[in-house]
Structure 1
Amino acid sequence: MLVFLYTDQTPFTKNNGKDQLSYAIEIFSIADKYLIDDLRYRAMQIIWESLTDDRAAEILFSVATNWPDLKECVLDYVVNRFNFVRKTDTFKNIKSNQSNYPSAGEVFAELLLKLVPDS
């Protein structure tokens, strides 16, 4: 975060052994906490660009529920690639262990509404 504040640069590369997506989520959280909107926006872009079918489900159910705009972004990815996301081990694990994900019911309901819109 200090690099961004002093240089306006956002080096979203591996940091402290974390992959780019995990690091971007961490930076997103910090930027949100300290109201650094530009850094928050850039972090969300990196999150979007770094999503994979497997990681999208994990992020949607465990992290994104804390921020409505991030949740919407990840939810859109999952909806667009649902045929692939639903086949991942991560998604299957979430489905069978919903008690480990406090917002699972809400997220599944939103997912269903987006997948099967009202006529």
Structure 2
Amino acid sequence: MNLKTKFKGFSDFELISIAEPHTDYTDEAKNFAIDIIMERHNEDYKKYANEYWEEYILKNIKTILKSRIIPKSHFLDNLEMKTIVKDCFEKWKEEQELFGIDTTKYWVV
């Protein structure tokens, strides 16, 4: 069984997670994944790419913020990636504020 045959059974979301530039798959595997996605003519691939990147960025938000480099995508343009990073940063910031200590309870007189 070759890669192309194996990948045909994968969902679009799984293929996107293979095809994106930062993954550890070989170039051949990435090219097969991209080819299969484009052969399917499924317009939902952008939605799946958005879901994938939101999940990935939320998991790795600190690393992305420290590097100050917006990840590249085969399926989304730079503006869409900036929007996703911005939204994920805002979600992360809200979570951090929820974990903050309520200092009003610990006032020393």
Shorter-chain TM-score tier: 0.3 to 0.5
Superposition TM-score, scaled by structure 1 size: 0.38
Superposition TM-score, scaled by structure 2 size:
0.40
Which structure shows the bigger proportion of residues in helix conformation? 1
Compare relative contact order (CA 8 Å, sep 6+) and give the higher one, 1 or 2.
Answer: 2
